[in-house]
Each structure stands twice: as structure tokens, then as C-alpha cells.
Amino acid sequence: MTNTLLAGSHRLPYRNAKATGHANPDERFEVTVLVRRQAVAELTDHVARLARGDRSAGHLTRQAFDTKFGASAADIEAVSNFAHRHGLTVTSHHAGRRTVILSGTVAQFNAAFGVNLQQFDYDDGTYRGRTGDITLPPELHGVVEAVLGLDNRPAARPHFRRNATGSAKSYTPLQIASLYQFPAGNGAGETIAIIELGGGYRPADLKTYFAAIGVAPAPKVTSVSVDHAKNKPAGGADGPDGEVLLDIEVAGAVAPGAHLAVYFAPNTDAGFLDAITTAVHDTVNTPSIISISWGGPESSWTAQATTAFDSAFQAAAAIGITVLVASGDSGSNDGATDGSLNVDFPASSPHATGCGGSHIATDGTTITAESVWNDGTNGGAGGGGISTVFATPAWQSGLTVTDNSGTRALANRGVPDVAGDADPESGYQVRVDGTNTVIGGTSAVAPLWAGLIARINAIKGSPVGLINPALYANQAALNDITTGNNDITSSNNGAYRATKGWDAASGLGSPIGTALEKVL
């Protein structure tokens, strides 16, 4: 029997990328093979019951989830046998994560998966990649859902922006939490997982920062290595260190009693997914919240990747983990270079809460005005729009969306769900690589909401899990943002405007923390 194409694996080169030759056949690397889940329909029903507020459904322990909904031993063995036939090494496997990690050379992976790995040059560097589809032997048809890591192009970018003028008003994360009326508490007993795809932090920076803003004792911060990546400060607030320190310092300031577990992974589709699934199924750190400030336009992802990520977030919902994802800093096109409108993924997953951006004006103790963050093409704007991948979830049913051409029914998943201060002109005071600076971007909003959820979980004594259904059912628990838009090109007829209620520029609005504590 002949090999079959792996559904959703079709890959195109980067726009304007040029193949420069075959990849080195002796180059050795690792690939993540995602195996099908057991009892898919039962899991879907379980998460749907949780979304409806059915308390009898309950959150599952990680051990119970892995046993019931993980990969079967037979499927893992089938992948292992296939690997051995092609000279590939099984370096690890995990039934709950449904992953089998294979190690081999370019030549071996070419033969095993029917691909032709080449080297590509593009605007920002080079990558090893493929064009077309992956193929599988008949015995793996239906068993394997994704093969990630053959292509090592950067999968995502961080969503933060530096304050360029130095003249704008800025705030500590604690001041932002107070402005949004976060409930009292420090998140004690909770763990926030923070996903990072580059850069690192120095403990001395954290010690100095938290002492300076009056957070004592400082939160416990642990680095978790995924796919051999490590905490590796690269230097400079404009690089990935700016993202890492922003995430840790915002979440840690708001919820200093929480444990912050920072999962460092390579910036590839395989590394990104492995970081998420490692956090979801981590029985050592046991996070109840995942904060993600990285992503890319939906159009840049393969179908197998978007399905795999969404499935990981579905698992998180079943376990009781709240997933918060920045919606992007490039307005309604999300930085896509082909002129199309785009939402950011993984913020567009219906099992994640997309976090958009606003600009706030204050009198020092209260917010006097709040609008959609939009500083133009160079300054950035909050990401948002309509997914082309995911259908409208039940909790967004009946909504409308307003853009430059008018108002119409929401036809697919709308992003973002919520918002928060993201404008670097009303940004966050942080410390990066020994320097105090001001940073904004929707990257700040995900850890801000993560700190809020940590406080709420600690108050309630149990995790709230997937929060989207409750948010849409209790819109009065958020500050509705009704002014502004996220069009930064002045040419996108579909750029989105803030309106009363949910909109694709600011979601349901920014948090009223004490009100959310009551309804979640």
C-alpha cells in the first residue's frame, strides 16, 4: 500500500523566501509526533458541559485526564516501530501529551516522512524548511495527527512594544491592578505557567525590581527547560528579554504569592506546542493558569498546528487551567505582509481567552477614560478581528461586529475576548537587563489577567478554568470600551471599531476585578 498525505500538513515557504539548496543531510534534530486522542467525543462533551456551567462535570486531575484521554499504548508503539524501521530514535514519549519525540538526521526524516528539506533565505535570516505535504505509511493513517519540527522557521513573535518618547505616563503593575479594582490577595497557592520562546531573565533583576515596587517577599520563579531550550538572557529590552521580564514582573507583582513557572522552548511550531503541553500536563509545578504573549497571524500556521494547539487548550479546560493569550500588537492585519486582515493565533483558539489592548487616562487613582490602543503603524495597535479557522463558539452566538464598512453578524470566532492597558504611552514600569524602562503591548495584558485569575483562584480555593462563557454571560463585570479602532494602515476596509458590548477591537472590555471575582 502507498503512503497517504497527512491532513493539514501542507506547508508553503515564507513570503519572499528563497530556497538556496538541500538541507545538510547529516544535520541531526528532533521532531514532535502528535498521536490521536482516546475518547475524543467524550472529552468534547465534558468541556462543553463545563462551558455551560454544569458543576457536575467537574475538573479532572492530570492523572485522570492522561489515563482517559491520552494516547493509547498501542498507538505510541506503532509510532515507535515506524521510527525504528527508519533508523530514528525515540527520545521520549508521553501518553497525556500525546507526543512522541523522534531524533534523526535530515536524510532519515526525508525518507521517513516523504519530504525534501531545504535551506531557505528570508528577510530575517535562514531556516530549514519544506514545501508541500508530509506522508505517512498506512499503519499510521489516522494514528498521527501532526508532525512538527521538520520546519524550524520562527513560529511566533513576542507582542510587546517599548515606550519610544519617554514622556508618557507609566504605572507599576500594582497601580494598574488597583485601577482595575483587583480583589485583595496575592495568589498564594497558585502556579502561573509563562510560555517563552527565547531570551531569559537574571534573578538579580527580579530581586531589584520587586524590592523597588514594594513586593516582599518576591515571588518564587522557576525555569523549566523544554526541548533543550533554557533561560538564556540575550541582552537588551528590545529583544526577547523584554518579553520575558515583562511577563514575569507583571504577573509576579500582581500575584506575588503565586509560583511562576517559566517554560523556555525553541521558537518553532514543535517547541511552542511542546511548551504548552508540558505546562498543561506538568504534575510537578501543576499550573492553574497559562500566560502566553507570543503568536503570529493565523495565515502563517498549518492546519495541523492550529488543531494541535486548540486540542491542548481543550485539555487545559478539562483540567481547570485558564489560558490567557495576547492578541497581537499590529492591529487588524496582525502584521501580515500580504495585505489581508488577520487575527493572531493562538489567541484565536476558542479554548483560550484572547487579551487585547487599550489606552488608559487616569487622575492617579481612577481611570477617567479608556479607548482602543492604536498608535499607528509604527507605534502599534491591539490585535483583533475574525478567525478564518475557528467557528463561532456558543458563548459568542448572536454577536455582531462593526468595521469600516458597517455592522454585520459575527460569522466565526471573534478576537479578542477581553482587554487591558497595553499602550506603551500608558505603559508598565519594568526592569530588563539592569535597566528600568517602560513597556506596553498586549504582552502585558495576558500576565495582568493571569495575576487577576491567580488572586481569584486563591480566594475561591479552586481553579476557575475556562472563563470565556462566564465573561460573555456577565458583561457588566467588565469596563465596556466604546471608542477607537485597530486599523493602523488606513486602507483595510475591514478594520474593526469599538462599539457598545463586545467588539473585535477591545473584546468585552477591561476587568473590574472585584466584579469578576463574584461571577467567575
Is it the case that residue 168 has pLDDT exceeding 90? no
Is it the case that residue 164 has pLDDT exceeding 80? no
Asked if residues 252 and 219 have their Cβ atoms less than 8 Å apart, the reply is yes
Cα–chain-centroid distance for residue 44? 21
Tens of pLDDT, residue by residue over 209-238, are: 999 999 999 999 999 999 999 999 987 888
User: Number of H helices and number of E strands within the chain?
Assistant: 13, 29
The Cα-based distances of 216 to 186, 206, 208, 447 in angstroms read 11, 11, 11, 19
Question: What region does 324 belong to: left with phi over 0, alpha with psi -120 to 50, or beta?
Answer: beta
Q: Beta strands 353-362 and 322-326: pairing type?
A: parallel
Tens of pLDDT, residue by residue over 474-494, are: 999 999 999 999 988 755 555
User: Residue 316's pLDDT is what?
Assistant: 98
Q: Which helix (H) or strand (E) holds 4?
A: strand 4-5
Helix (H, G, I), strand (E, B) or coil at 308: helix
Give this prediction's pTM.
0.97
User: Residue 1's pLDDT is what?
Assistant: 63
- Cα separation, 449 vs 65, in Å, equals 26
**∠ Cα 310 316 320 (to 5°):** 145
Is it the case that residue 404 has pLDDT exceeding 90? no
**Which DSSP letter does residue 112 get?**
H
Is it the case that residue 329 has pLDDT exceeding 90? yes
Tens of pLDDT, residue by residue over 172-209, are: 999 999 999 999 999 999 999 999 999 999 999 999 99
pLDDT band of 166, cuts 50, 70, 90: low
**Which DSSP letter does residue 36 get?**
P
User: Residue 165's pLDDT is what?
Assistant: 64
- Cα separation, 517 vs 470, in Å, equals 11
**Which DSSP letter does residue 366 get?**
S
Residues acting as catalytic residues: 243, 247, 443
Computed over every residue of the chain, the mean pLDDT equals 95
**Which DSSP letter does residue 301 get?**
S
- Cα separation, 206 vs 198, in Å, equals 18
User: Residue 247's pLDDT is what?
Assistant: 98
Is it the case that residue 354 has pLDDT exceeding 70? yes
Asked if residues 106 and 27 have their Cβ atoms less than 8 Å apart, the reply is yes
CATH number for the domain running over 157-519: 3.40.50.200
